[in-house]
Amino acid sequence: MKKHLQQMADYLLPHTCCFCQKKTHRSFELCPPCESQLPRIKQACTVCGKITPYHFPICVSCLKNPPPFDRTYVLFPYESLAARMITRLKFGYELRYAKILGQLMAHYLIDTWSREPSVEKPECIIPIPLHLKRLKERGFNQSVEIARPIQKRLHIPIELYAGHRMRYTQAQSSLPQAERKKNVAKAFATHKNFRANHVAILDDVMTTGYTVSEFSRALRKKGVQKIDVWCCARA
Ligand SMILES: [Zn+2]
Ligand SMILES: [Zn+2]
């Protein structure tokens, strides 16, 4: 019933596509032709999400040194229109891109899970925390905003009180590769009352994976057994 009402509302009140400005009868602002222009990942490591030219499900570096998380779901390579959406969200403060990215992520997860019915779904979505100072500068946490439509669509709750950033770190993208690991070392703390067995960490962009790894290590110390990473774009 709710679904039919939503379809009717989308038909009567169409949205404007964020790229071509044409009307679209979808519940978010991206038309199917523009969606088909988004970059796609052909092959990636199932563990760390790194894009690889090989047919192996796990990359060499994950085989040698498994990261502290179990599986990564990546929506796009960090390029062209996908990168533009994330930049406009984070630095242009255009929250509609969070809604689009969240809807696309939800579709992608539903699609993947329908092909792999034995996959266990996480108990909660944990958007990667921002330091309070950065949160004040930006006014919102982009990962929380991306998580909202996913929560609505998949009925998996968002957990905002799993942990926080203790240290104000420089943006990873502003640092050379060698300094990134040090920059996020021990950056996170978990909250006293947080308990979960299987979680999904949501991050907008994953580059080296150091930030997600550091947060995963903190969650593991709290007894989390299984960690999935949902990331919109992988560099
Ligand atoms: Zn369009
Ligand atoms: Zn890997």
Q: What confidence score (pLDDT) does residue 1 get?
A: 66
Q: What confidence score (pLDDT) does residue 155 get?
A: 97
State the chain's mean pLDDT as an integer. Answer: 91
Q: How confident is the model at residue 4 (pLDDT cuts 50, 70, 90)?
A: confident
- 20 φ, ψ to 5°? -100, -5
Read out DSSP for 81-108? Answer: HHHHHHHHHHHH--THHHHHHHHHHHHH
Using the mean position of ligand 1's atoms as its centre, give its distance from the Cα of residue 140 in Å: 26
Ligand nearest to the CA of 29: 1
Lowest mean pLDDT among 88-102, 153-167, 182-196: 182-196
What predicted TM-score, i.e. pTM, was given to this entire model? 0.92
Using the mean position of ligand 2's atoms as its centre, give its distance from the Cα of residue 60 in Å: 7
In angstroms, what is the C-alpha Rg of the chain? Answer: 18
Ligand nearest to the CA of 18: 1
Res. 139: pLDDT tops 80: yes
Ligand nearest to the CA of 64: 2
Task: Give the rounded percent of residues in the chain with a pLDDT score beyond 70.
Answer: 95
User: Regarding predicted confidence, which is higher, 99 or 55?
Assistant: 99
Ligand nearest to the CA of 14: 1
Using the mean position of ligand 1's atoms as its centre, give its distance from the Cα of residue 168 in Å: 38
Using the mean position of ligand 2's atoms as its centre, give its distance from the Cα of residue 57 in Å: 8
Using the mean position of ligand 2's atoms as its centre, give its distance from the Cα of residue 58 in Å: 5
Q: How confident is the model at residue 89 (pLDDT cuts 50, 70, 90)?
A: very high
By the 8 A CB rule, do 78 and 45 touch? Answer: no
Average pLDDT for residues 175-180, to the nearest whole number? 78
Average pLDDT for residues 32-58, to the nearest whole number? 90
Q: Which residue segments constitute the domains of the chain, with CATH numbers given?
A: 1-37 (no CATH), 39-234 (3.40.50)
In whole angstroms, give the CA distance from residue 25 to residue 15: 6
Using the mean position of ligand 2's atoms as its centre, give its distance from the Cα of residue 72 in Å: 9
